[in-house]
Structure 1
Amino acid sequence: MPVGVITNIFAILFGGIAGTLGGKLMSDNFKEGLNMTFSICSICMGIYAIAPLKNLAAVIFAVIIGTSLGIIFHLGKAVNRGAQGMERFISRFVKAPAQMDQKTFETTLVTVIVLFCASGTGIYGTLTEGINGDATILISKSILDFFAAVIFGANLGAVISLIAVPQFIILMIIFFLAHIIVPLTTPDMILDFKAAGGVLMLASGFRITKIKMFPTADMIPIMVVIMPISWLWTNIIVPLIH
């Protein structure tokens, strides 16, 4: 049972509702301070995931090759186009709040859709749970997502809760695909996979507070190439070196 996925979905759903109902009670200083907290939590999760890695060189290769593939094939732009399509559909039923113009509403909504539906942390956490049943990353992410949804709900309204629907579909597809990968993995590959996901979480942490706008959507292929590279490094490169 995908406990982490379900927890993450409900975090967005109830966070959006809570933000809509209690948004007027939150000061700008409170929202800004909480955003800084999201950033450091994501960075801590990234460090925790990277620490037990097995093959540092393999992880570095995967980060470089995966990000290069994402940039070459314009994955970030494709993710944004998909989010824009979702936004256009949602905007048919929900209009901008009275204090916000429609263009700002639509632009912000696209950003939120990408954050919740196509984040590296979400994809990594879902794959991890699908591979070995460890829901820790997704549950930790759910805590962050709940409060993020509260903040976005305070600004955009109940539309934030609707994002739980496409998020559920995307994460469940990833979860079931992970079951196909399990028989092909080794313990070392899993550790390197977690480390690669940790790199994405670090990048997300820096991006949240706009310290550095890493191309996290373009970095998603890291999670695809890390396992083959880890296997090649362990079984082909290391024996040659020794």
Structure 2
Amino acid sequence: MIPTGSLVNGAAIIGGSIIGILLHSRFPERIRQIIFQALGLGVILIGIQMSLKVQDILVLIFSLLIGGIIGELLRLDTMFERGAGWLKKKVGSKDTGFIDGMITASLIFCIGAMAIIGSLEEGIKGDTTILYTKAMLDGFASIALASSYGIGVLFSFIPVIIYQGALTIFASSFQEWFSPLIIDQLTACGGLLIIGISLTLLEIKRINLANLLPSLGVVVALTVLFN
């Protein structure tokens, strides 16, 4: 099936980023700082709401531990940075915030509840309502992010389409796997990673979220195994 919701989401990110890039030079530093603080507070609230969906907290904790170890062994952070760096060279960008912007925006857009549940809804039921709503929200968020980080945010549409599209296609092929329990556990795990993003945006603590991404897969496997 064609992941229509993800394609629309990607287009919204491109459109919002273009607006943000045009506004980039017009925002003084103090405005950019307050934008980051507002985003950080909003993101931490989203993360808390998501994480409270947890049904089996021990499985969730072990998933983060195991996923983090896997990510460190694979050096996913280095892989993402190299990928973003390669793309930066390909487009000829000299923007110093390109890599940080692309990675931060990709993480925000990819591991939220709407990304997970919306992709599953489209794959299982053919319902794109959640992803269309997410597209609108991501479009506005990309304006704020691109106004601070620059053009790197625009290219976050690539991992968004790949990640959400893959989830949709996978869900359509393996519908019986996705019970409410698995979806809740997956959402809770994503919520904790979202809280990690907010700590970075608020400059409280920089967490290596790229290396924690495997925990999203591990939490599904452990939930199936122990429940």
TM bracket, shorter-chain basis: 0.7 to 0.9
Alignment of 1:105-184 (within 5 A): 105=95, 107-117=96-106, 119=107, 121-124=109-112, 125-133=114-122, 134-135=130-131, 140-153=137-150, 161=154, 164=157, 167-184=160-177
Asked if residue 186 in structure 1 is aligned to residue 179 in structure 2, the reply is yes
Structure 1, unaligned stretches of length 5 or more?
Answer: 97-104, 235-242
Kindly tell me the number of residue pairs found equivalent between the two proteins. 217
Instruction: Check whether the contact 1:19–1:152 (CA below 8 A) recurs between aligned residues.
Output: no
Residues in 2 aligned to 1:160 and 1:51: alpha-carbon distance in whole angstroms: 29
Structure 2, unaligned stretches of length 5 or more?
Answer: 123-129
What letter corresponds to residue 204 of structure 1 in structure 2? I
Cα deviation digits, residues 156-201 of structure 1 (max 9, x gap): 5xx7545545653454334323434432122111111110010110
Instruction: Check whether the contact 2:19–2:143 (CA below 8 A) recurs between aligned residues.
Output: no
Q: Please provide the CA RMSD for this pair.
A: 2.7
Asked if residue 215 in structure 1 is aligned to residue 208 in structure 2, the reply is yes
Instruction: Check whether the contact 2:20–2:145 (CA below 8 A) recurs between aligned residues.
Output: no
Instruction: Check whether the contact 1:126–1:175 (CA below 8 A) recurs between aligned residues.
Output: no
Residue 225 (structure 1) aligned to one of 175, 193, 218: 218
The residue aligned with 1:201 is 194
Residues in 1 aligned to 2:176 and 2:45: alpha-carbon distance in whole angstroms: 30
Residues in 1 aligned to 2:188 and 2:43: alpha-carbon distance in whole angstroms: 14
User: Max radius of gyration: which structure?
Assistant: 1
Residues in 1 aligned to 2:61 and 2:199: alpha-carbon distance in whole angstroms: 19
Instruction: Check whether the contact 2:17–2:154 (CA below 8 A) recurs between aligned residues.
Output: yes
What letter corresponds to residue 152 of structure 1 in structure 2? Y
Change (3 A) 1:115 1:177: farther
Identical pairs, percent? 19
Residues in 2 aligned to 1:11 and 1:84: alpha-carbon distance in whole angstroms: 23
Instruction: Check whether the contact 1:67–1:221 (CA below 8 A) recurs between aligned residues.
Output: yes
Change (3 A) 1:115 1:178: farther
Residues in 1 aligned to 2:108 and 2:16: alpha-carbon distance in whole angstroms: 20
Instruction: Check whether the contact 1:59–1:226 (CA below 8 A) recurs between aligned residues.
Output: yes
Residues in 2 aligned to 1:146 and 1:182: alpha-carbon distance in whole angstroms: 35
Shift of 1:85: 1.4
Instruction: Check whether the contact 1:121–1:200 (CA below 8 A) recurs between aligned residues.
Output: no
Alignment of 1:87-98 (within 5 A): 87-91=88-92, 95-96=93-94
Helix, strand or coil: the match of 1:172? Answer: helix
Residues in 2 aligned to 1:110 and 1:216: alpha-carbon distance in whole angstroms: 14
TM value normalised by structure 2: 0.82
Change (3 A) 1:142 1:221: farther
